[in-house]
Chain A
Amino acid sequence: MRRREMVWVAALWAAAALSACAGAKPAQRGAAPSQASHPEVDTGLETCAGCHAQATPAVAAQWREGRHGMALVACFVCHGSTGQDFRARPESVGCRGCHPLQVSSVTRDGRTQGCFQCHPPHALRAQGKTSPHPPRGT
C-alpha cells in the first residue's frame, strides 16, 4: 500500500513540476483515454438520437421508449455535448440535478452507490423489486 501511495504522489508531483515549468501552458492530459465525440456531425441539423436510431437502434430505442426519452431528456444531458465535455460513461453525480432525493438516499458518508447498477443505462428503469429510495411525497 505504502508503495502505491508513493508512486501516486511521485507521479503527480512530477506532473505538477512539469506544469510549473511550462508556465502558462496547461498540463497535458495523460491518463485520459481518447473520447469519440463526432466532430464531423453537423449539430445544427442532427441530434445524437437521430443518428443513433440507426447506428445503435437497441440503445436508442431503450432511451426513446423509456421515461427519459418520453420527457426528451436528450443524450447530451448525461453525456455532454459533442465537444470536449463529452462523456462516454456518465457519472451518477449527474443524476443529482433532477433526482436529488434519490441520490442522497443511496449516499452514505459521502459515497454514492452507482445509480446504473439498478437503473440500466438508457432504459433507466429500476430492475429490482424493492427500492432503497424514499417514496415520493414523504
Chain B
Amino acid sequence: MSVSRRDFLKTAAATSALAALGVPGQARADGGEAKWVKSVCRYCGTGCGLFVGVQGGKVVAVRGDADNHNAGFLCVKGYLLPQIMNAPGRLLHPMIRKGDGFQQASWDEAMGLVAAKFQEAVQSFGPDAVGFYGSGQGLTEETYVANKLFKAGLRTNNVDGNPRLCMASATAGYITTYGKDEPMGCYEDLDHAEVFLIVGSNTAEAHPVLFRRIVQRKERNPDVKVIVLDPRRTPTSRIADLHLSFTPGTDLAILNAMANVLLAEGLADDRFIQDHLAFGEGQEPNRTRADYERFLGDYTPQKASAASGCSAEDIVKAARWFGAPGKRAISLWCMGVNQRSKGVWANNLLHNLHLVTGKIGLPGSTPLSLTGQPNACGGVRDGGALSHLLPYGRLVANEKHRTEMEKLWGIAPGTLSPKPGFATVDLFRAMEEGKLKCLYVMCTNPGQSLPNVDRYRKAMRREGAFLVVSEAFHPTRTSELADVVLPAALWAEKEGVYGCTERRYQLLEQAVEPQGEARPDFQILCDLARRLGHEKLVPFRSPAEAWTEILTLTKGTAYDFTGMTRERLRQAHGLLWPMPGTEHPGTKRRYVRGEDPLVPADHPQRVKFYGRPDARAVVWLRPQKPPEEVVDAAYPMYFTTGRVLEHWHTGTMTRRCKELEHANSEALAELHPQDAARLGLATGDAVRVTSRRGAETFRAKVTEGARVGLVFVQMHDDQRMCNKITIDAVDPISRQPEYKICAVKLEKA
C-alpha cells in the first residue's frame, strides 16, 4: 500500500501532536475523524433527530438529522448538548447519606442498602409501602424494567411518573373522547394546516423546532391564520393573526362559545356528526345533539366574553376561521390546558371543535397535543408506567387486562394487584402520612417540580422515609434529600428508545462510555431486581432483549408495533405506530381508512373511531368551572408558571451549559406595567410573591407582554422555586396538578 508524501506528513504531524498531548489512550485509532452516532435530543417532547459527534471517546458535537422530522434543525438547547456531558456536578460514584452529608460508597454497598430497605418495608408493611417515581425522560426499556419489577415482582401498583404532571389530562382527554390514548395526527399535518389554533402553549419557546415549521408554513402561505389563546402575550403570539388574552381559567367558556358559533352559523359538518359522533355528559354518552345545542345556549360569545374578559367579536372571528368550510384546521395545546384542575374537560372541549366540524383525520386537520418530555408518550403513557395502567392501553382495574398481562409475563394468576396505586401527588402525600416507606426516584426532580413543593420536600425527609434517587447530576433539589444517590449514565452514554408527541419511536444509540462509575438505569434496575429475588422477571442482558419482549406485549393492541424491530429502528429516522408487521410502513394518521391498519380497508366511511365500542367519538358537554383557587382581597393576583426557550425542566442540565447559564436562567416575576406602577416596582426590584402555601422572592421584570393582574415565573430555576407558591390541587379525573393558576399577593421586598 503506497502512502503519499502528504498522507505520511499528516500521520507524522498527528502522531507528534498526540505525543505532545501526553494521553495517547484517548487518541482515536482511525486518525481522529469524528464518529457520528444517530440519536435523539435529550430535551423536549418534539423529539428532534440528531447525530452525536464522538472523538477520543468524548461527545464533541451534535448536528441535526436532516432525514428526520426536524429536517436537520435543532434549538439552542439541543445544539449545546455536548456541554452537559462533562458539565460540573456529574455524579460519578454512589453516595449514601451520613447525617447531613453524603459519603461515597461502592455500588455493592449502595444497592445492598436499597434492596434491604425495600425488602424490609414490603415484609413489615406490605407491598404498597414501597413505590417508584419515574420519568418521561427515562428510556422505554428502563421504565419497562421498573414497571415490571414493581407491579409483577413487588406486587404494588405504586408506579407513577412525572408525565402525571404534564400529560395526564391530555391522555384522559383522548381516552374519554376517542377511547384510546395518543394523538391521531402527526407533525406533517403542520405543513397542510390552514388554520392553527394554539391554546395554552408557548410553542415558540417550549417547542421551537415545531414553531419553526409553523412559521415556515405561514411564510409560504400568507392566507394561513394563526389564533393564539393565552392570557400572556408570549413570543408565540408574534405570528398570531388573532390573540385572545383572557382571565386565567375561563378558556372553557371561550371554547364552548366557539362551538356555539360553529353550530349557530352552520359551520358544523352534519353528516360527520351523524356518522361518527355521540354526545355525553358526566361519564356516559347519554345526550343528543339537541341537548348539546341547548347546553351551548349558555355560551354565547357575549356571555363568554363577560366571563373571560376577551371580546365577543374575537371569539366569533376565531370560530369562523376555525370552522371555515374546506379550510384545514389544527389545534395545538400544552400545559396551559393540561395543568389545570379542569384539564381533562378543557381537552374534551378542544376535541369537540374538531369533531363537530369533521376537521379530523385529514392532512392538516387534527387535534395535536404537544408533549413536554422526550419519552413521556413512549415510555410512560404507552408503556403503562402510571399507577392505574398496565402496558399498552391496559388498566390495572380491568380483570381481563390483568389476566392478559399475567399470561404475557408468565406469572401466576392473581399476581397483579387489582388496586390502582397512588398517582404522583397522592404518592408523596402517602409519604407524608408515613404510609409509603420507600420511594425510588429515577431521572427526575420532584424536590423542585412538585406543586406546593415545600410540603413534599418535608415528606421526602420525613423520619422513617427512605428515598433513593438515580441521577446523572448531584446535588439536585431532590438528590439533596435522598438517603442513597445512584450515579446514572447520561444521554449518549446508554442505549434505548424514545417515543415523542406524534407516536414516533426512535432509537438512541450509545455513543460514549458512562463517566466514572455511572451505570445506565436499565442496568441499575436489573441489579435491584436480582437483589430482590426477581431476576427471572427481568433476565435481560441488554435493552435490545427487553425491547423484543415489549414488542410481544403490543400485539393485538391499538399500539401494535410488532414490526418495529431493533434493526429497523437502527436504520430508520423515526417510525410511527401502529406498525403491525416488519413490512408495514407505519401510520401517519390513525383512525383513517387506507392509512391505519386497524381500520378495515372496506370501511364505508373515511374514518373509524375504533377506540370506542360503538365506533363513535364523544362530544362532551363540559361546563365552565373556575380554577381551584380564585383571586380575592387577600390574594388579589393570579400566578402562573411556564418555560423559557433556553432552559428545560428543572434546569439540572441546561443550567450547567455555559451559554445558557447566562441566558434567562434566573426566575423573574414578570409583571404588567400597570401592576408594577401600582406596587411601586421597577425592573430589577426584589418582589416577594406569597400564596396560601408559601412564598419566594424574585426580581421583577416589567413587560408589556404580561397581563394585568397576572404574574408569570419560569419553572427552571433551582434557587428561586416557583413551586413553593403553586397549588397542589389536582384534576379529579387525571390527577394532574393545577400548576397554571393560583392566587398570590405581591410585596416589594
Contact A136 B71 (CB under 8 A): yes
Question: With the chains together, A13 CA to B675 CA distance in Å?
Answer: 63
Neighbouring A residues of B219 by C-beta, 8 Å: 67
Q: Does A98 make an interface contact (CB < 8 A)? A: yes
Could you count the A-B residue pairs with CB atoms below 8 Å apart for me: how many are there? 78
Chain B residues in 8 Å Cβ range of A70: 215, 238-239
Query: Given A71-B208, A76-B662, A82-B662, is A100 in contact with B215 using a C-beta cutoff of 8 Å?
Result: no
The interface of chain A, by Cβ under 8 A from chain B, is 42-45, 47, 67, 70-74, 76-77, 80-83, 85, 96-101, 136-137
Cα of A34 to Cα of B668 in the assembled complex, Å = 32
Complex contact B659–A76 (CB within 8 A)? yes
Q: Please name all residues of chain A whose beta carbon is closer than 8 Å to the beta carbon of B113 when the two chains form the complex.
A: none
Residue contacts A-B, CB under 8 angstroms, 12 given: A44-B668, A67-B212, A67-B215, A70-B238, A71-B215, A81-B658, A82-B662, A97-B61, A98-B72, A99-B72, A99-B73, A101-B66
Please name all residues of chain A whose beta carbon is closer than 8 Å to the beta carbon of B699 when the two chains form the complex. 44-45
Kindly state the separation between the CA atoms of A80 and B62 in the bound complex, as whole angstroms: 17
* Residue of B72, B645, B701 with most partner-chain A CB within 10 A: B72
Interface set, chain B 693-721, CB cutoff 8 A to A:
699, 701
When chains A and B are docked, how far (Å) is the Cα of A81 from the Cα of B76? 12
Contact residues in A for B32 (Cβ distance below 8 Å) = none
Chain B minimum-CB-distance residue to A101: B66
Decide: B701 and A45 in contact? CB cutoff 8 A. Answer: yes
Measured CA separation A81–B235 after assembly (Å): 21
Question: B267-282 toward A: CB 8 Å interface, digit per residue (1/0)?
Answer: 0000000000000000
Closest 7 CB pairs of A and B: A44-B666, A81-B662, A97-B79, A100-B63, A43-B662, A81-B659, A101-B66
Determine the distance from Cα of A73 to Cα of B74 in the docked complex, in whole angstroms: 10
Q: State the Cβ distance, B210 to closest chain A Cβ, in Å.
A: 11
The docked-state distance in angstroms from the alpha carbon of A55 to that of B73 is 30
Residue of B nearest to A137 (CB): B71
Quick check: B666 and A73 within 8 Å, CB to CB? Answer: no
Q: Which of B62, B211, B238, B683 contacts A97 (CB 8 A)?
A: B62
How many positions in chain B have a CB within 8 Å of any CB in the partner chain?
Answer: 37
Chain B minimum-CB-distance residue to A103: B63
* Residues of chain A with a CB closer than 8 A to B666's CB: 44-45
Q: Is the CB of B662 within 8 A of A83?
A: yes
Q: What B residues does A137 contact at CB under 8 A?
A: 71
8 A Cβ contacts from B58-83 to A: 61-64, 66, 71-76, 79
Question: What's the least CB distance linking A41 to chain B, in Å?
Answer: 9
A74 contacts which of B215, B645, B668 (Cβ < 8 Å)? B645
Contacts A72-B235, A73-B76, A74-B76; A47 near B664 (Cβ below 8 A): yes
> Which chain B residues numbered 318 to 376 have a C-beta less than 8 Å away from chain A?
none
In the complex, which residues of chain B have a beta carbon less than 8 angstroms from the beta carbon of A99? 64, 72-73
Given A67-B215, A72-B205, A73-B76, check contact A97 B63 (CB 8 Å): yes
B659, A100: Cβ atoms under 8 Å?
Answer: no
Decide if B266 is an interface residue (CB 8 Å cutoff): no
B684 interface contact, C-beta 8 A = yes
Residue of B whose beta carbon sits closest to that of A97: B79
CB distance from A87 to the nearest CB of B (A): 11
Task: Give Cα A72 to B214, complex, Å.
Answer: 14
Contact partner of B684 (CB less than 8 A), chosen from A42, A85, A96, is A42
Name B196-250 residues within 8 Å CB distance of A: 204-205, 208, 211-212, 215, 219, 235, 238-239
B128 adjacent to chain A (CB < 8 Å): no
Chain B contacts for A101, CB-based, 8 A? 66, 72
Complex alpha-carbon distance, A71 and B699, angstroms: 27
What residue of chain A has the Cβ atom nearest to residue B701's Cβ? A45
Chain B residues lying within 8 Å of A47, measured Cβ to Cβ, are 663-664
Give chain A residues whose Cβ lies under 8 Å from the Cβ of B659. Answer: 76-77, 80-81, 85
Specify the chain B residue showing the minimal Cβ separation from A80.
Answer: B659
- In the complex, chain B residues whose CB is within 8 Å of the CB of A96: 63
